[in-house]
Structure 1
Amino acid sequence: MLHDLGKALPQSNIATVIVSICSIAFLVIGRDLINPWVKKRFPIPIPFELLLVVFGTAASFLINLHGNYHVAIVDYIPRGIPDPSLPRIDLVPILLSDSIGIAIVCYVASVSMGKLFAKRHRYRLDAGQELYALGLMECLSSFFPVYPAGTAISRSLVCEAAGTKTQLHILFSSLLLLCVILWVGPLLEALPMCILACIVVVALQGIFMQFKQLKPLWTLSKFDFLVWIVSFLATACFDVTQGLAISVAFVLLTVVFRCQWAKWQQLGQLANCGEFCDLSRYGSAEQLIGVRVLRFAAQLNFANVELFKQAVQTVIDDSIAAAKKKAGTSSGGIARLVVKHENGHGVDVKTANEQNIQLKPSAKIKWLIIDCSSFAYLDAMGVDALKESFTDLKKQGINVYFANVLDDVRDMLKNIGFYQHVSATNFFPSIKSAYEAIQGIRRST
C-alpha cells in the first residue's frame, strides 16, 4: 500500500488535495486550539468532525466536486438491514486457518486499544472481559452477512476525540447509523471520501506520536526497542497477520536472549543494618569472611545453566585468587604476610613462619550462599545445574546453602526427589538466616 501510494502521488487530484488540507486544518485548529478553550467553560466540546461532514457534504453538493473536479465521493449508500440466517457450517473447514489469524488480530487490536485508553485516562482494563465481549459479539454477528467484528481503531479514536466518556455512546452512534442506513443515506452521497480520510488521519495523530516513545524506550530497554521496531516493520512491510506472527516469534526469541545474557552479582553485608546488597554498587557493603553470596538475576533454565555454573565457579576462583593475594604465599605455601583468621585474631609474620602455618587458599571459602529469589521456576536442566554445583563444591570442601527459594519451587523440588541429593537443611528463607546458621556452626566448633 505504501509503495502504491508513493507511485500515485504524481497523479494526485489537486481539488482533493486542497479539500484534504482544508479539512485537516479545520480539525486540528478546532481540536487543539478551540476545544481546549471551550472545555474550560462548557462541559460539552464542539463536534468538529460532525460539522466537517455537514459542511463538506453541503459544499460538495453545491459546487458539484465530483462532476466538475472528479473528487471521489461516498456515492451510493445501501439502505435496509439484511435478514438473519444460520451460519454456513460447511465453510468452517475452508475458513478455519484464516479465522484463527483473524480472531487473534481482533483480540490483540481490542486489548491494545483498551490498554492505550486505560493508560491515557487512568483506569484498569480487564482483558478477560474484553475476550468475553468479543466472543459474544462474534457469535451474534455470525447470523448476518457482515465482516468479523472487532475494534475499529479509527472510530474509537474519533469517539475519544469527540469527548466520549461512557459506553452509552454506542447506543446513540448505533441509532444514528441506523438512521443513516434507513433514511439519511441519500443526503450523504455527496460527501467527499477525502473528508472521511482526514477525520481518520487526525484521529490517528496519537498513534503516529508513538514514535516519540522510541528514544526513552532505547534508554529503558534495548530489547523492547527492537520489539517495537520489528513489530512495526513486519506489519508495515507484510500485513497484520504475518506481522503479528513475526512479532510474537521475535518476542519469544528475546526472552531466550534475556536469559542467556543474565546478570549475576556477589553480595556483601551492610554493617549498619545487616542487609545484603551488591558489592559493586554499595561501597559500605563488606565481604563476609569465609562466605560468599551469589545472586543470579534471572530464571534458571536450559538457556542459561552454563552461565550459572560459570558464575558459581567464577565466585570461587576469585575468592581463591583473593586469598592467595592476601596470604602472600611463597612457592612452598608458607605465610609471609599478616594473616587474619576467621576468629578475627591476627598472626604476625614471624610467628606464622616459626609455626610453619601453611595456608590453603581454597579452604578460605567454606560456604557459598545462592540467592534463589529470581527462580520463579526451574526446568530439568536448571535442577541438574543446582545438583552439579552442590556436588562439585562439596568435593572442594565448600558447603552450598540456598536462600530465598520460592514455596512453589521448593514444592517442585520435593516432588522430584531433589532432597535425596541435597538435604532440606541447606535451604533457608533468607540470606540473613543462612548466614546466622553459618555463625552458629562456627561458634559450636
Structure 2
Amino acid sequence: MRLERWVPLVGWLRRYQQAQFSRDALAAVIVTLMLVPQALAYALLAGLPPEMGLYASMLPLVLYAIFGTSASLAVGPVAVAALMTASALSGFATPGSPEYIGAALVLAALSGLILIAMGVLRLGFLVNFLSHPVISGFITASGILIAISQLKHILGVEASGHNVIELLAALFGQWQQVNVITLMIGLGVWGYLLVCRKHLQQWLIALGASVSVSGIVVKAAPISAVMVTTLLAWGFSLDQHGVDVVGFVPSGLPAIALPSLDQSLWVGLLPAALLISLVGFVESVSVAQTLAAKRRQRIDPNQELIALGMANLGAGVSGGSPVSGGFSRSVVNFEAGAATPLAGAFTALGIVLATLLLTDLLAFLPTATLAATIIVAVSTLIDLPAVKRTWQYSRSDGMAMVATLLLTLLHSVEVGIVGGVVLSLVLHLYRTSQPHSAVVGRVPGTEHFRNVQRHKVETDEHVAMLRIDESLYFANARYLEDTVMALAARSPSLKHIVLTCQAVNIIDASALESLEAINGRLKDAGATLHLAEVKGPVMDRLKGTDLYRELTGQVFFTTFEAWQALVHPDEALTPVA
C-alpha cells in the first residue's frame, strides 16, 4: 500500500499480536532504565540542561516508531551527536545559556529537515562519500575527546577546549583545585562499571542466569550506580562539600514550539547540521542493518532518512537536541526481544513517567556519576588497532583514517571529518587516475588470459592484449592514452592492440575522446585498435559514437575470440558486429 510505504507503522500494526506487545513492552522497560542516565549524561556532554536529554527521548522516539523501518533501532541522544552539538554551538553562545539552548533546537530541526529532504529525494547514496575508514577514525577520535572532556567532572574542576591539547592544558592548570570527594565518586563509579562490563556477566551465568538476561543486566548497571550515588549525595549533603550535582530538573512535559526563525542562525548552523545528519545516518543505518540481518529482515535506507529526519525535527520542536540511533541501546533493545518499532514508543512513555515522577531525586545525582557513565560508554567507540589494520591493508585508506583522527583530536570535530572526506576523495581520484593495466597472454591450451609478468602464457609479437582494470573517466583518460602509446612505441612490430574491457563499467566523454585519439594515432602508425569484452550498457552507448563507426579494428565478444581472429585467423570465430 502507498500509505504503508511512507508510514511503515501501518504495516507493523496490521500484523501486530499480543506476543509482540509483550516483547516490545519488556524491551521498553529495559531500554528506559538504560536511557535515563544516558539522556542526562549526553545532555551534559552537549552543554545543555539535563532535562533536554529527557525531552530528546520522548517525541523523537514516537516519530521514529511511526516512520522507521527497523524493529530494533533505539533512537535518542548519543555520544557522538552530543559532542558534535557542543562543538557546533560553542561559537554561537555560552553553554547552558538561553541563546545556546535556542541554537540547539535550531540545530536539531535543521538536521531533521536535511534528512527528510535527502529521504524524499532518495539521496541516501551521498553517505557513501563518508568512507568507513573516515567514519572509524572520526568515531575513535570522538571517543577519546569525549572521555577527556569528562575528566573535569571526575576531578571536580572547570576546564574547557575544542581539542585534546586545549582540554589537557586546561585540566593540568586546575590540578590543585581537584575535589577529593568528587574524585572518589567518579573513580568509584568508573571502576564499578568496568568490573560489571568485564566480569558481571560471567558471574551471573555461573549463578544460572541466561546469556541474554545477564547481558541486559550488565547494560543496565549504570542505573544502580545512579541510585547509590544519588542517595549518598542526598543523605550526606555532598553538594555542600563542593560536589557538583545535576541540580533542579523541571518536572513535566516539554512545550511544543517552533525553534528560533533567525535566518542568520540557520545559515550559520547549516554546515554543522549537515555533518551531524550524515554521521548520524551512517551510524544508525549500520546498526539497523546489522540487527535486521540477524532476523532476516530488511530496512529501507531512504525511509530511514525520513524517519531519522522526523525524529530530529520532533526534537527541535519539543525542547530536545539532535538524535540518532545508539549502538549499545539498540543491541539491548534487540536482545530484550523488541519485535517492532513500537518498543521505541513505549520507551518514550517510560521516559515521560520518569520525567514526571523522578526529577526531584535526580536533582542530587552527582555529575561525576554521569561523567563516569559517559567514559565507560564511549570506550567501546575507541578502536586504535583498526588504524594499524587499515594502514597495513591500504595505505590510502590508512592515510585518510589517520588524518581524520589527528585533525579531530588536534583541531576540531568539523575540520576532522571534512578533512577526512576531502582526503578520501583526493586519494580516490589519484588512485583511479592511474588505473592498473596489464598486457595479457593466453594460458596454454585454455581460453583464459593472464598477466604476462605473473604467468607463463602464450604471446604474439604482432598482437598485444591490454587489460584495463578500471572504469574510464576524465581523471584517467590521458593516462590511458599514454599507456597505450607507450606500449606501441616499445614494440615496433605490433600490428594489433586489443583493449580488453571486462572491468570497464563506464566510459565518459573524456575517455571517449581519448579512445578516438588512440584509434587515430595507431592508424597513423600502421596499427589497429580492437576492443574485447565490452559490457552491454557500455556497448549501447558506444554504438552511436564516431569511435564505433571509425574504429580501425573490431569489437570481439571475448578475449579468446580476439586471439583466434588475430593470432590464428584460420580458426577465427565471427566477431561481434
Does residue 1:128 correspond to 2:291, yes or no? no
1:350 aligns with none
Match of 1:268, SS state, is strand
Does residue 1:60 correspond to 2:233, yes or no? yes
Does residue 1:31 correspond to 2:197, yes or no? yes
Q: Measure, in 2, the Cα distance between the counterparts of 1:75 and 1:406.
A: 67
* Residue pairs, 1:216-365, within 5 angstroms: 216-282=389-455, 284-318=456-490, 320=491, 362-363=492-493, 365=494
Q: Measure, in 2, the Cα distance between the counterparts of 1:136 and 1:103.
A: 15
CA contact (8 A) 2:500 2:532 kept: yes
Match of 1:44, SS state, is helix
CA contact (8 A) 1:367 1:401 kept: yes
Q: How far off is 1:386 after superposition? A: 1.0
Aligned with residue 550 of structure 2, among 402, 411, 421: 421
2:100 aligns with none
Q: How far off is 1:393 after superposition? A: 1.7
CA contact (8 A) 2:442 2:457 kept: yes
Aligned with residue 524 of structure 2, among 371, 395, 401: 395
Aligned with residue 541 of structure 2, among 412, 433, 437: 412
Code of the residue aligned with 1:225 in structure 2: it is: G
Q: Measure, in 2, the Cα distance between the counterparts of 1:141 and 1:121.
A: 25
CA contact (8 A) 1:57 1:192 kept: yes
Q: How far off is 1:87 after superposition? A: 5.8
Does residue 1:385 correspond to 2:504, yes or no? no
What whole-Å deviation, never above 9, does each CA across 1:267-313 have from its counterpart, x for those lacking one?
1111143201112222x323245321112222322322332222213
Q: Measure, in 1, the Cα distance between the counterparts of 2:190 and 2:201.
A: 15
CA contact (8 A) 1:110 1:150 kept: no
CA contact (8 A) 1:111 1:127 kept: no
**Identity of aligned pairs, percent?**
20
Aligned with residue 437 of structure 1, among 565, 571, 577: 565
What whole-Å deviation, never above 9, does each CA across 1:12-41 have from its counterpart, x for those lacking one?
333222222221221121122121453573
Moved more, 2-11 or 222-231: 2-11
Match of 2:262, SS state, is helix
What whole-Å deviation, never above 9, does each CA across 1:209-233 have from its counterpart, x for those lacking one?
x211111111111111111112223
Code of the residue aligned with 1:197 in structure 2: it is: A
Does residue 1:182 correspond to 2:356, yes or no? yes
Match of 2:498, SS state, is strand
Q: How far off is 1:392 after superposition? A: 1.7
Does residue 1:17 correspond to 2:183, yes or no? yes
CA contact (8 A) 2:230 2:366 kept: yes
Match of 2:499, SS state, is strand
CA gap 1:433/1:125 in 2 versus in 1, 3 angstroms: farther
Moved more, 96-105 or 378-387: 96-105
Q: Measure, in 2, the Cα distance between the counterparts of 1:314 and 1:401.
A: 17
CA gap 1:192/1:280 in 2 versus in 1, 3 angstroms: same
Does residue 1:138 correspond to 2:312, yes or no? yes
In the superposition, the TM-score normalised over structure 1's length comes to 0.79
CA contact (8 A) 1:158 1:203 kept: no
Match of 1:60, SS state, is helix
Q: Measure, in 2, the Cα distance between the counterparts of 1:129 and 1:305.
A: 38
Moved more, 232-241 or 129-138: 232-241
Q: Measure, in 1, the Cα distance between the counterparts of 2:375 and 2:299.
A: 26
What whole-Å deviation, never above 9, does each CA across 1:106-130 have from its counterpart, x for those lacking one?
2322322442575589656643232
CA contact (8 A) 1:403 1:428 kept: yes
Q: Measure, in 2, the Cα distance between the counterparts of 1:60 and 1:117.
A: 39
CA gap 1:296/1:274 in 2 versus in 1, 3 angstroms: same
In the superposition, the TM-score normalised over structure 2's length comes to 0.62
Match of 1:84, SS state, is coil
Code of the residue aligned with 1:426 in structure 2: it is: Q
Q: Measure, in 2, the Cα distance between the counterparts of 1:435 and 1:214.
A: 45
Match of 1:286, SS state, is coil
CA contact (8 A) 2:564 2:571 kept: no
| Structure 2 gap segments, 5+ residues each | 1-160, 573-577
Q: How far off is 1:168 after superposition? A: 5.3
The runs of at least 4 consecutive aligned structure 1 residues that moved more than 4 Å come to 116-126, 161-165
Q: Measure, in 1, the Cα distance between the counterparts of 2:337 and 2:373.
A: 19
Larger RCO of the pair (alpha carbons < 8 Å, separation 6+)? 2
Aligned with residue 8 of structure 1, among 167, 171, 181: 171
* Residue pairs, 1:74-93, within 5 angstroms: 74-86=246-258, 90-92=261-263
1:354 aligns with none
Q: How far off is 1:375 after superposition? A: 2.5
CA gap 1:139/1:375 in 2 versus in 1, 3 angstroms: same
1:41 aligns with 209
CA gap 1:411/1:316 in 2 versus in 1, 3 angstroms: same
Match of 1:55, SS state, is helix
Q: How far off is 1:412 after superposition? A: 2.3
CA contact (8 A) 2:287 2:325 kept: no
Q: Measure, in 2, the Cα distance between the counterparts of 1:116 and 1:224.
A: 22
CA contact (8 A) 2:391 2:397 kept: yes
What whole-Å deviation, never above 9, does each CA across 1:373-411 have from its counterpart, x for those lacking one?
232222332112111212222223322211122222222
CA contact (8 A) 1:107 1:150 kept: no
CA contact (8 A) 1:296 1:374 kept: yes
Q: Measure, in 1, the Cα distance between the counterparts of 2:234 and 2:417.
A: 43
Code of the residue aligned with 1:57 in structure 2: it is: T
1:349 aligns with none
CA gap 1:38/1:120 in 2 versus in 1, 3 angstroms: farther
What whole-Å deviation, never above 9, does each CA across 1:56-81 have from its counterpart, x for those lacking one?
2122222332222x121111111112
1:107 aligns with 278
CA gap 1:286/1:400 in 2 versus in 1, 3 angstroms: same
CA contact (8 A) 1:105 1:241 kept: no
Match of 2:384, SS state, is helix
CA gap 1:87/1:207 in 2 versus in 1, 3 angstroms: closer
Q: Measure, in 1, the Cα distance between the counterparts of 2:271 and 2:257.
A: 23
Code of the residue aligned with 1:311 in structure 2: it is: T
Aligned with residue 199 of structure 1, among 373, 392, 396: 373
Q: Measure, in 1, the Cα distance between the counterparts of 2:336 and 2:497.
A: 60
CA gap 1:286/1:165 in 2 versus in 1, 3 angstroms: farther
Match of 2:474, SS state, is coil
Q: How far off is 1:161 after superposition? A: 6.2
